[in-house]
């Protein structure tokens, strides 16, 4: 048997036995490696990312790998996306955080959903409402900071295409906030019998307003 075949066989044996595929000690729950080898793999991934970013900078492009020529570490759009605003940009105070009393999990669709036990005396819908509005406020504050950054001289002196990319990124934060509000309104529409604005109507309104500008 070749060395590769032997290695592949050992890999499968360990995998099926719930052992670390690299060293054979019991693997951590739900994964195929032990804690040590998980940490090593993570470190290797992190180091590769550092090297990749350094290489992008040597080539004079944005460290995020978007391909935009950039004098700064990240281009304007990626600065907004990653939300590492330069220190001169406007910092919008008000500190909102979702309360720790809720157990939440981030889903594949990017939204956070409630999964824990109900806090006594509170309806789950009230918890979801609070979460949605908290996330909406966070997204809108991020959008506000991002728009202030886009309006700053650092971004305004960039080529038009880069300014527009940064602004699109900032506006997508606002859109993200709006989606939480839509969830909130949808959840309550039928339960409360209230005449709330239809999300599609609200969205059309936003599009119309942005066209006017
Ligand atoms: Zn191991
Ligand atoms: Zn970039």
What separation in Å is there between the alpha carbon of 69 and the centre of ligand 2? 8
CB 143 within 8 A of CB 174: yes
Cβ neighbours for 20, distance < 8 A, ≥ 6 positions apart: 14, 26, 27, 32, 33, 34, 36, 37
| Residue bearing tokens 């759009």 | 77
CB 104 within 8 A of CB 113: yes
CA atoms of 142 and 173, how far apart (whole Å): 7
Q: Is residue 63 part of a domain?
A: no
Both 27 and 128 in one domain: the answer is: no
Both 50 and 98 in one domain: the answer is: no
Instruction: Detail the DSSP E strand segments found in 20-148.
Output: 104-106, 112-114
Both 52 and 89 in one domain: the answer is: no
* pLDDT for position 102: 47
pTM here is 0.58
* pLDDT for position 82: 87
What separation in Å is there between the alpha carbon of 6 and the centre of ligand 2? 44
Give the count of domains, the chain: 2
DSSP, collapsed to helix, strand or coil, labels residue 68 as coil
Ligand approaching nearest to the C-alpha of 74: 2
Both 180 and 94 in one domain: the answer is: yes
Both 40 and 89 in one domain: the answer is: no
Both 160 and 97 in one domain: the answer is: yes
* pLDDT for position 198: 61
Beta bridge partners of 113: 105
Q: Is residue 73 part of a domain?
A: no
* pLDDT for position 2: 87
CA atoms of 36 and 38, how far apart (whole Å): 6
CA atoms of 197 and 14, how far apart (whole Å): 57
* pLDDT for position 121: 55
What separation in Å is there between the alpha carbon of 62 and the centre of ligand 2? 5
* pLDDT for position 93: 46
Q: Is residue 4 part of a domain?
A: yes
Both 155 and 117 in one domain: the answer is: yes
* Residue 76: count of CB within 10 angstroms of its CB: 28
Q: Is residue 111 part of a domain?
A: yes
The boundaries of the domain holding residue 117 are: 85-207
CB 125 within 8 A of CB 184: no
Both 47 and 112 in one domain: the answer is: no
Ligand approaching nearest to the C-alpha of 81: 2
3-state secondary structure 176-213: HHHHHHHHHHHHHHHHHCCCCCCHHHHHHHHHHHHHHC
Q: Is residue 67 part of a domain?
A: no
What separation in Å is there between the alpha carbon of 192 and the centre of ligand 2? 45
Ligand approaching nearest to the C-alpha of 28: 1
What separation in Å is there between the alpha carbon of 149 and the centre of ligand 2? 15
Find the Cα–Cα–Cα–Cα dihedral 166, 169, 175, 180, rounded to 10°.
Answer: -130
| Residue bearing tokens 């000690």 | 25
What separation in Å is there between the alpha carbon of 89 and the centre of ligand 2? 18
Q: DSSP assignment, residue 61?
A: B
Both 34 and 101 in one domain: the answer is: no
> Per-block average pLDDT, block size 10, for the chain (213 residues)?
89 93 91 93 95 96 95 92 65 47 57 55 78 93 93 94 95 94 86 58 63 55
Both 193 and 144 in one domain: the answer is: yes
Both 103 and 193 in one domain: the answer is: yes
């Amino acid at each position: 048997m070749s060395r590769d075949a032997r290695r592949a066989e050992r890999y499968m044996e360990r995998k099926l036995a719930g052992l670390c595929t690299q060293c054979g000690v019991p693997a951590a729950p739900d994964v195929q490696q032990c804690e040590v080898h998980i940490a090593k793999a993570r470190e290797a991934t992190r180091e590769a990312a550092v090297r990749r970013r350094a290489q992008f900078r040597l080539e004079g492009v944005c460290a995020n790998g978007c391909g935009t020529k950039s004098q700064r570490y990240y281009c304007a759009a990626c600065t907004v996306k990653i939300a590492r605003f330069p220190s001169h940009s406007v910092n919008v105070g008000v500190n909102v955080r979702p309360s720790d009393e809720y157990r939440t999990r981030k889903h594949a669709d990017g939204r956070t959903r409630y999964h824990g036990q109900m806090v006594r005396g509170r309806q789950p819908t009230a918890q979801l409402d609070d979460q949605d509005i908290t996330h909406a406020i966070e997204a809108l504050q991020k959008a506000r900071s991002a728009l202030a950054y886009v309006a700053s001289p650092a971004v305004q002196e960039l080529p038009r295409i880069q300014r527009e990319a940064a602004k699109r990124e900032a506006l997508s934060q606002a859109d993200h906030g709006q989606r939480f509000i839509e969830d909130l309104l949808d959840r309550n529409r039928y339960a409360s019998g209230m005449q709330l604005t239809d999300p599609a109507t609200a969205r059309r309104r936003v599009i119309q307003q942005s066209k006017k500008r």
